Chain A
């Protein structure tokens, strides 16, 4: 049982390049989330999804797009990477927002934009 798997684990990009981060969960969870974690700050929500085919904006959505074509996958895209997007990105999933169930996190993607 892998839980939440993020790929890649590390990536270095040049300003202006694009890339997609992949998150996969095998727990049949409805809800999936993308966060970023920066030094000295708490995790901040970028985008989230409440089910297959749905997406919604979080706290810091600018510069990112997401897609949830399959229930088990949640993709985060950077269309034109900027140095301000250097961060550690975490994906999480949960079964139901109304139940006191924890969010399960992946181990992160460390992204550097030069």
Chain B
């Protein structure tokens, strides 16, 4: 069964600290892996997309890694800001399909 598991479910950190969110998937065939940020009351917004051959990809203070062998990805946030408070969703695209498998998300709270 195609599944995407994210951990932790929720995380609270202080402003300025770093954090890492985890994503494990059992999707086959694999096409690409996406990280989305969803602010409360808004739709998800794409942060990164990683294909099979990409190990690391950065978008500002966000760095995503992908290990296709172990089927794991992580999203590292550096020097967190209050505006980083949101849910972060890991999404895997099924190869040869228009369908995405969504994780349940990690809810990040950044406190001053």
A contact residues vs B (CB 8 Å cutoff):
4, 31, 33, 40-45, 48, 50, 58-59, 90, 92, 94, 97, 100-108
Contact = CB atoms under 8 A, between A and B. Distances in A.
A43 B89 CA distance: 10
Listed residue (B32, B44, B51) with the most chain A CB atoms within 10 angstroms of its CB: B44
Nearest to A105: B43
Given A45-B100, A102-B34, A108 B49 contact: no
B42 interface: yes
A102 B49 contact: yes
The secondary structure that dominates the A interface is loop
A94 B99 CA distance: 12
B76 interface: no
A50 B99 CA distance: 11
Interface of B: 4, 31-32, 34, 36, 41-46, 49, 51, 89, 97-105
Contacts of B42: 107-108
B46 A103 contact: yes
Given A102-B46, A105-B43, A106-B43, A97 B97 contact: yes
6 contacts: A41-B104, A42-B89, A42-B105, A90-B44, A92-B43, A94-B98
Contacts of A50: 98
Contacts of B34: 102
A58 B100 CA distance: 10
Contacts of A97: 97-98
Given A100-B32, A100-B51, A103-B46, A43 B41 contact: no
B109 to A, nearest CB: 17
A69 B98 CA distance: 20
A45 B43 contact: no
Contacts of A42: 4, 89, 101-105
- Among A43, A59, A100, A107, chain B packs the most CB atoms within 10 A around the CB of A43
Q: Which A-B residue pairs are the 6 nearest by beta carbons?
A: A105-B43, A42-B102, A102-B46, A97-B98, A43-B102, A100-B49
